Amino acid sequence: MTHENESKITIDPNYKEDRGPGDLSLLVELHKKEIWEWKQKESEWVKTENQLSGTKKIINELSAKIIDQVRIIAELEKKLADKNK
In a domain, 81, yes or no: yes
In total, how many domains does the chain have? Answer: 1
In a domain, 36, yes or no: yes
In a domain, 13, yes or no: no
In a domain, 19, yes or no: no
pTM of the model: 0.55
pLDDT for position 67: 97
In a domain, 53, yes or no: yes
Question: Cβ distance 19 to 26 under 8 Å?
Answer: yes
- Is the pLDDT at 47 greater than 70? The verdict is yes
- Is the pLDDT at 6 greater than 90? The verdict is no
What does the chain look like in DSSP terms, one character per residue? ---TT-------TT------TT-HHHHHHHHHHHHHHHHHHHHHHHHHHHHHHHHHHHHHHHHHHHHHHHHHHHHHHHHHHHHT-
Domain residue limits at 62: 24-85
- Is the pLDDT at 20 greater than 90? The verdict is no
